[in-house]
Amino acid sequence: MAKINPNDTKLDDTSSSTITEITVTPGAKLLAPVGASFRYSMSGKRYCEIRFVVIKNLEQGGPDEQGGIIEDKYFLEENNNWVWSKLAACLMFNESFDNEDPQDVQNMLFRDGCRIKAKLVEKTYNGKTTLRIGDMGRVLKDGKVPPYHETELQLIASKKDSYNGLLKWRSENGWKQDLLPMSKPNDPLSVNEDDFGDDGDDWDTVPF
């Protein structure tokens, strides 16, 4: 049987595929939470990692960054409670909750229509510059939280799957983490076909 020589095949750039991450730039964005887990620092300090997906770039004339990912760390010490309180208020969650309890955090983050307007800023620590969430505000329609529409649901579901895949990889490789309870499979988010316009003018976003 003849041996196969890969060098006999000539490839051009269209014969290969790559996975390209969407670049997210500083500025105002519309974000939705897609994943969270409790992790531990090298010193054993427990914190909550929350992942958001960019739904819309709110910067005038800015690039389309829909699908880009932003992660932020939310620490659990009492002097950080104000950060949790502000996030919950921006997500229109009005109940008291325990930020160290995975079920409570899930209840706060993952409900239909959970979005925030966030100003992303660059921060440098130990020589590494990353994007972090700075100021944030509520996203309303006629004073109410609008449900996710179909495009948002598809985007959020895709990014949730990606995050769950990362959590599985971490578990398989011995990373210490505390996971949020799984969402009920028979409790789908409701769908609203109205996307409230492409220019963002219909959103009642609170100024920073």
C-alpha triplet 191, 194, 198: angle, nearest 5°: 130
Local confidence band at 195 (pLDDT 50, 70, 90 cut-offs)? very low
The domain tally of the chain equals: 1
Local confidence band at 193 (pLDDT 50, 70, 90 cut-offs)? very low
> What is the mean pLDDT of the segment spanning 107-136?
93
> What is the mean pLDDT of the segment spanning 112-117?
95
The β-bridge partners of 39 are 47, 177
Q: Phi, psi at residue 187, to the nearest 5°?
A: -125, 65
84 dihedral zone (left: phi>0; alpha: psi -120 to 50; beta):
alpha
Q: Do 135 and 89 touch, CB atoms closer than 8 A?
A: no
Q: Is the pLDDT of residue 183 over 60?
A: no
DSSP letter at 102 equals H
Domain assignment present for residue 187? The answer is no
Q: Give tens-digit pLDDT for 5-50.
A: 555 555 444 333 344 578 999 999 999 999 999 999 999 999 999 9
Q: Is the pLDDT of residue 190 over 70?
A: no
The CATH number given to whatever domain includes residue 160 is: 2.40.50.140
Domain assignment present for residue 64? The answer is yes
Domain assignment present for residue 104? The answer is yes
Q: Give tens-digit pLDDT for 84-110.
A: 999 999 999 999 999 999 999 999 999
Domain assignment present for residue 205? The answer is no
Domain assignment present for residue 1? The answer is no
Percent of the chain with pLDDT over 70: 77
Domain assignment present for residue 119? The answer is yes
Domain assignment present for residue 2? The answer is no
Range of the domain at 102: 25-179
